């Protein structure tokens, strides 16, 4: 069976060799890279621009961005027919290839994020390793942590005031450099789509900018949801353990801090959401005004075939509804989380409509193709290109984040950053 035949339904006149080749994993790829960039931009609002109200969520979003980073490549690896050759993009870069640019930018961004995390946590590594080293008896997990922290310290044991100030400067510089690199990491995905001259829906110079703005929106929204869920779990654990450990923060203290951080973060979510909505509407108006010869088939896709997906799910539920709800007075925590979930759905539908919608019409301009998402993984290909493969990609960063926070705590960390 030809790749794509299992999930492609053709209507009217389509060429025999035409199928929907780019499936759910190619939708997940720009969506996940957008989350990486957005989470990093949120952390940089504190480290670079000094927004003190975002201090509590800045470290959280930085570590979360680091957990999301390995997952950015997973959709491509699952989609490739020969995934073992994917490493060649990283090892043999080609400076005139847009695809090879991913390897260069991804490696640069990974080094920046890892270095920034090291400077943020260096003092914590030293203090914890010193405390564990003074213990006469250490458990198995404490012994493992002691070994890990000694390796991560890399000989930099100085935690004097001057050394901490140098760490702060390094964090600020790395965060400043990382913002354009993070935007380019995701903007190049829009560049790849926007530079495909053979596809009328993708070929627009606004595509990279739209991808970047929606990436920041989705990253901030996911951090809000994850931070809120984590804080709710902290309140449950604190209420249970506070009887034996009265020095733990109370439920009211945690709730107050949670509301302040989420409310402030929602303001930046609203700001970037306005920018993303404006660019998407501008792109739609531009296409209608220029009205190229492909506009007839595009109009059939946008206003007929994919009307519900574009105007109801993406623009209506994913953009307009959260925009209005965030503007209403007496903003509550539940409303912010609900709006963040709607925003995530809207950004995902934007990726879906770009990737799948861009393949919905035939090159003959006289036929349409529909993508049916494979649900049950009867074969390995249907697993990778179906619902279970997408769920596997979506769950992985949360598992990685849980594991990383066992070594890099994101709460109750006393330092100068």
Asked if 103 and 185 sit in the same domain, the reply is yes
The C-alpha atoms of residue 407 and residue 148 are separated, in whole angstroms, by 8
Write down the pLDDT at residue 348: 95
Residues 37 and 151 in one domain: yes
224, exposed or middle or buried, with CB in 10 Å at 0-12, 13-18, 19+? buried
- Are residues 220 and 124 located together in one domain of the fold? no
- Predicted confidence pLDDT, tens digits, the chain (417 residues): 677 778 888 888 888 888 888 889 999 999 999 999 899 999 998 988 888 888 888 889 999 999 999 898 899 888 887 777 777 777 776 777 777 777 788 888 999 999 999 999 999 999 999 998 888 788 888 889 999 999 999 989 998 999 999 999 999 999 999 999 988 887 877 777 766 655 666 777 788 888 889 999 999 999 999 999 988 888 787 777 766 666 666 666 666 667 888 888 999 999 999 999 998 888 878 776 766 666 667 777 778 788 898 899 999 999 999 999 999 988 888 999 999 999 999 999 999 988 888 787 777 777 888 888 888 888 888 898 889 999 999 999 999 999 999 999 888 665 544
Residues 162 and 217 in one domain: no
On whether both 284 and 137 belong to a single domain, the answer is no
Distance, CA of 363 to CA of 245 (rounded, Å): 67
Rounded Cα gap, residues 228 and 401, in angstroms:
15
Would 73 be classed as within a structural domain? yes
Residue 249: its pLDDT value, please?
64
Give dist(CA 103, CA 188) in Å, integer. Answer: 11
d(CA 319, CA 183): 21
Helix (H), strand (E) at residue 10? strand 8-12
Domain co-membership, 350 together with 398:
no
- Among residues 322, 339, 355, the one where a domain terminates is 355
Asked if residue 127 and residue 237 are part of one domain, the reply reads no
pTM exceeds 0.85, yes or no: yes
Which residues span the domain enclosing 305? 208-355
Domain for residue 252, yes or no?
A: yes
3-state DSSP assignment of residue 190? helix
Query: How far apart are the C-alpha atoms of 155 and 163, rounded to whole Å?
Result: 13
Asked if residue 13 is part of any domain, the answer here is no
- Residue 129 counted as domain residue: yes
19: in domain: no
* Claim to verify: residue 274 and residue 176 sit in the same structural domain: no
Q: What is the dihedral of CA 219, 225, 226, 230, to 10 degrees?
A: 150
Number of domains in the chain: 2
Is 366 domain-assigned? no
Residues 44 and 92 in one domain: yes
Q: Rounded to an integer, what is the distance from CA 395 to the centroid of its chain? A: 13
Identify whether 171 is part of a domain.
yes
Residue 417 lies in a domain: no
3-state SS class at 136: coil
Same-domain pairing of 178 and 281: no
pLDDT of residue 335: 93
Based on the fold, state whether residues 326 and 226 are members of the same structural domain. yes
Any idea what the Cα angle at residue 23 is, between residues 100 and 61, rounded to 5°? 65
pLDDT value, residue 292? 63
Residue 294: its pLDDT value, please? 64
29 and 177 fall within a common domain: yes
Contact 186, 212 (CB under 8 A): yes
């Amino acid at each position: 069976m030809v790749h794509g035949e299992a999930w492609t339904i053709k209507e009217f006149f389509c060429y025999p060799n035409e199928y929907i080749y780019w499936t759910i994993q190619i939708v997940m790829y720009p969506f996940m890279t957008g989350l990486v960039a957005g989470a990093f931009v949120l952390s940089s609002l504190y480290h670079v621009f000094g927004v003190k109200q975002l201090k509590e969520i800045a470290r959280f979003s930085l570590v979360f961005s680091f957990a999301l980073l390995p997952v950015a490549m997973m959709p491509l690896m699952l989609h490739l027919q020969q995934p073992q050759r994917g490493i060649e993009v990283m090892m043999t870069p080609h400076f005139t290839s847009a695809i090879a640019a991913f390897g260069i930018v991804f490696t640069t961004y990974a080094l920046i994020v890892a270095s920034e995390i090291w400077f943020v946590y260096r003092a914590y590594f030293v203090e914890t390793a010193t405390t564990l080293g003074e213990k006469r008896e250490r458990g198995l997990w404490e012994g493992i942590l002691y070994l890990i922290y000694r390796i991560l310290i890399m000989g930099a044991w100085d935690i004097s005031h001057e050394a901490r100030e140098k760490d702060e400067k390094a964090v600020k510089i790395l965060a400043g450099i990382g913002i354009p690199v993070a935007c380019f990491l995701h903007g190049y995905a829009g560049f790849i789509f926007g530079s495909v001259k053979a596809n009328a829906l993708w070929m627009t110079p606004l595509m990279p900018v739209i991808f970047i703005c929606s990436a920041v929106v989705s990253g901030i929204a996911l951090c809000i949801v994850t931070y809120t869920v984590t804080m709710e779990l902290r309140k449950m654990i604190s209420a249970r353990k506070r009887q034996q450990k009265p020095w733990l923060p109370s439920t009211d203290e945690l709730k107050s801090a949670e509301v302040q951080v989420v409310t402030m973060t929602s303001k930046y979510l609203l700001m970037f959401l306005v920018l993303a909505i404006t660019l998407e509407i501008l792109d739609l108006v531009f296409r209608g005004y220029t009205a190229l010869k492909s506009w007839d088939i595009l109009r059939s896709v946008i206003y007929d075939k994919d009307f519900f997906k574009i105007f109801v799910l993406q623009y209506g539920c994913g953009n307009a509804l959260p925009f209005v709800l965030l503007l209403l007075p007496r903003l509550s925590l539940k409303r912010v989380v609900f709006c963040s979930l709607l925003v995530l759905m809207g950004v995902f539908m934007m990726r879906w409509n770009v990737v799948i919608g861009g393949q919905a019409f035939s090159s003959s301009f006289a036929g349409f193709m529909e993508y049916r998402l494979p649900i049950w993984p009867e074969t390995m290909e249907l697993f990778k290109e179906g619902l279970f493969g997408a769920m596997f990609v979506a769950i992985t960063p949360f598992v990685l984040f849980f594991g990383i926070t066992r070594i890099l705590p994101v709460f109750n960390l006393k330092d100068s950053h």
